[in-house]
Structure 1
Amino acid sequence: MDRRTLLTSSLAGMAAAAASAPETRAQAGGSGPPPFAETMAEMTWQEADAAAKSGASVLWAFGVIEQHGPHLPLGTDVYIPSAVLRRARQILAERGHQAVILPAFYWGINQVSGAFPGSVEVQPATMIALMADVLSSVKKQGFARVFCTSGHGDALHNKTIFDGVTAGRAASGIDAAVLFNAPLVKRLGLDTASPAVLGFEVAESPARFIDVHAGDPETSAMLHIHPELVRKDLLPTLKSTDYGPADLAEWRKGQEAARAKTPLGYFGDPASADASRGAARLEGQAKAMAEVILARVGGK
C-alpha cells in the first residue's frame, strides 16, 4: 500500500471513530491518574524533609508534549517514564532503599516532531537553565542524589538532559545522573565514565522493521498503563510503516521532513501492540534502572 492510500485509509478510520472515542474513554474509567500522582507534590514539607534526612534518592522523569500518531495522547512520552519510575521506586523500597519522585519535566525539545500540531518546543538553553535551578533547589532541601530518565527519543532532547544534569552538578554539587539505555548512550557519544550518566541494559526482541515512534513498543506500554487513553478503534486502520535505516535517517532530519515521511505521525507498527508485552517491557526497564541506582548508592 502506497503512502497516499495508507493516509486516506487511516484518516477514514479516524473520522469514523472520532465521535465515539471520547465517550469510550470516559466509560473506561476516566483519563488516568492525576499528573502529580505518587510524586513529591503530594507530600507535605515535613514529609519531604524527613525523606531528605533519611537519605532517600530523588527520581525524575523527562518527557515532552508531542504528537504520537492518531491513536496515542500528546503526553505519551511523559506517561511512560513516569510509570517506569513508580515501579522502580517500589523495587528500590523492596531492596531497602527509599526514593521520592519529582514531578515530571515535560517541556522538552521536539526537533523531529515539531512540525506537527500539539508538539511543544523549548530551546536547549532554557531547558538546561531550568534543570540546573531545580537540581540546586533539591540539593538545598537536603537531597543528595537525583536520578533522571527519559521517555523521549529525540537525540538533542536527551543530550540536553545530560547537559542539564552536568550543569546542575556543577552549580550545586549534587550527585545527579541520567539513566540511559546502552544503545542511546552510544548514539549520543557520551563518555560512559562520566558521573552524569548511568547506562543500563534491557533485552529487546529483534524486529523486522524499525519501530521508534508511536508504534508497537509505545502503544503496548500505553495499553498497559493507560488503556483508556488509547484510541483503540483506530489501531486496526494503522498499517505498519515497514521502514528501514534510510527512512529513519530521513525522518530524523525532523520538522517538515519528518512530517512528510510519517504523515500520520507514527514510525512503526501500532496495530501489533499488546498490553502484556508493554507490561513486561516496563518491568524490565524498572528493574534495570533500580539495579544501576542501587549500584550507585551502595545498596543491596
Structure 2
Amino acid sequence: MEDILRPIYQERASQANTLGVLMIEKTEKALSITDTFDAVLLIIVEHADEQVFVKHYTYGSKKAALHIVTKKQINDWILMGSNRKIFEWLYSGKVLFDRNEYIQQLKHELKEFPFKGRKLKMGIEFAKLIRRYTDGKTLFDNQNYFDAYNHVVHSLHHLARLTIIENGFHPEVTVWNQVRQMEPEIMKLYEELVQSHEPLEKRLELLFLASEFLIHSRTRLGANHLLDILADKEVWTIQDIIQHDELKYYSVDLSILLEYLIDKNIIAIENVKTKGKGIEHRYYKVVKKI
C-alpha cells in the first residue's frame, strides 16, 4: 500500500510546513481504527487554513484516506481525548517522514506523559465526571431511570479514564481493559450496573452510593489543576475563569465543577455590591487547598 500512496505523501513531505507523515493500515482486529479504510495517511503540518483536511481515494478494490492535521489540532486531541484513534495512529502508525524527529519526540511525550499535562487532563475528566454524575442523580431523583442509567454509564467511563490518567497512562480505545488491571473496584461497579439482574432502580441506587465515595476520594486529584490556577488571584469573576488559557478546555463542565467545589467548602463565594438594588456580583475564591 505504501508504494501506491507514495506519490500522494511525497509531494507533501517536500514542503517545509510538513512535520511528519504516518501510514496506518487496516487490521482485522481493529477495523474501526481506520474507519474500515485499507490505509490512512496522517500528515501533520505546522500551520494550515483548516485544522483538519480530509481526502478519500480508491485504488482498484481498495480505499485510502488522507488526513492533513495541524500540530495544534493534534495537541488538542491528545489533551482533550476527543479523538481516541489518534493515540492508535501515533502508537502503531508506520513513520514515512519525520522532520527534525518531530514524531519521535511526540511519541516520547505520549509515553512519558508529563505531569503538567496529566493534571489538566485529570481536571477535564473530573469535570465531565461531576457533570454526568450530577445530571444522572437529578434524573434518578425524578424517577427517570433509563435516562439516569445513560448518564451513570458515562460517569463510570469518565471515572475509569480519570483512574488511567492518575496512573500515568493515556486512556485508549479499550478503556475497560486498562481499568481492569488498575482499579478492579471500578470495573466491578460497571459490571454490576450492566449485568446485574436487580431492578434498574435498585442498581442505580447502589451505584450512586458507591460512586459518591469514589468521586470524593478523587476530588483532590481531580480539582488540583483548577485550584492551582485559582490560587494565583484573591478573587475571580466567572468570565475571568472561563477565558483563562487552560481553563477554557473545561468548556461547559466548568460551572458544574465550581458548584461541586463550593458545596464541598473548597471554593467560596464572595458577593460584591452592584449599582442595582439588592443585586450583587458573584466572585469566587479558593478557601481550602486539598
Bin the TM-score by the shorter chain: under 0.3
Q: Kindly indicate whether structure 1 or structure 2 has the higher relative contact order, using CA contacts under 8 Å at least 6 residues apart.
A: 1
More helix by share: 2
Larger-gyration structure (1/2)? 2
Length-normalised TM-score, structure 2: 0.25
More strand by share: 2
Length-normalised TM-score, structure 1: 0.25
